Amino acid sequence: MFSKNRRRLYMAFYVRSARDENDVKFHTSLLVTPKSPNMQTMERNSLRLHAMNTVNASGVEFWRYDYSNVIVRTFRLAGLQLLAKIESDVTDEVLINLLKQVYVSPNANDLSWRCRNWAWDAIELLVKNGIVQPLPEGMAARDVWQAGYDFIENEDLNNMLREALRTCDVRGHPIKSEIGALVED
């Protein structure tokens, strides 16, 4: 049964420092938010799930799966791509445990594997488990990511903090954002 006010599952694109000119501009993660989150609070009411590059105590870089409760809107969040409206029985714990199954490369120096690879595999797993609707015909998770990436990359990010967060659907078409401005005039 469908319920109102379902939480949202987004692919989130965070501004990051590119390591070289061929690297992507955005870190990719999945973000679960309430419908229309309150932007006037610093409450950590959203869940970010992603693969992140980390350095251990010996100075060795490696990838790891990470999840944490976060504030929905930050200075680095450039835009979102709506993947699904989640039913109430799909709890944070269900998502966290399910996404532990997604492969994470142990080698941070492997340039063929990045956080977006984890996101692609995570989306495929979420589709397989019925949490995300089947992707549009002819589109793989990689294509969905590319549509979202292109949408965000082509946006003017200069005033992004004073406007509702740029948001698109799985095909990269703009949709009305439920995430308001970070900075108010």
Q: What's the pTM? A: 0.90
Apex 112 CA angle, 83 and 115, nearest 5: 35
The residue among 7, 36, 10 whose CA lies nearest residue 170 is: 10
**C-alpha 168 chain-centroid distance:** 12
List the Cα angle 45/49/54 in 5-degree steps: 120
> In sequence order, what E strands does 34-185 have?
46-55, 61-70, 77-86, 166-168
Q: How is residue 74 written in tokens? A: 């930050």
pLDDT digits (tens, 9 = 90+) for 123-174: 999 999 999 999 999 999 999 999 999 999 887 766 677 788 899 999 999 9
Q: Which amino acid is it at 87? A: E
State how far Cα 76 lies from the chain centre. Answer: 12
Domain limits, the chain: 7-168
> Rounded CA gap, 59 and 5, in Å?
45
Question: 130: which 2 tokens?
Answer: 């019925």
Q: What is the pLDDT of residues 1-29, one digit of tens each?
A: 455 678 999 999 998 876 665 578 899 99
Alpha-carbon distance of 144 to 51, in angstroms, equals 18
Task: Give the C-alpha separation, 133 to 18, whole Å.
Answer: 32
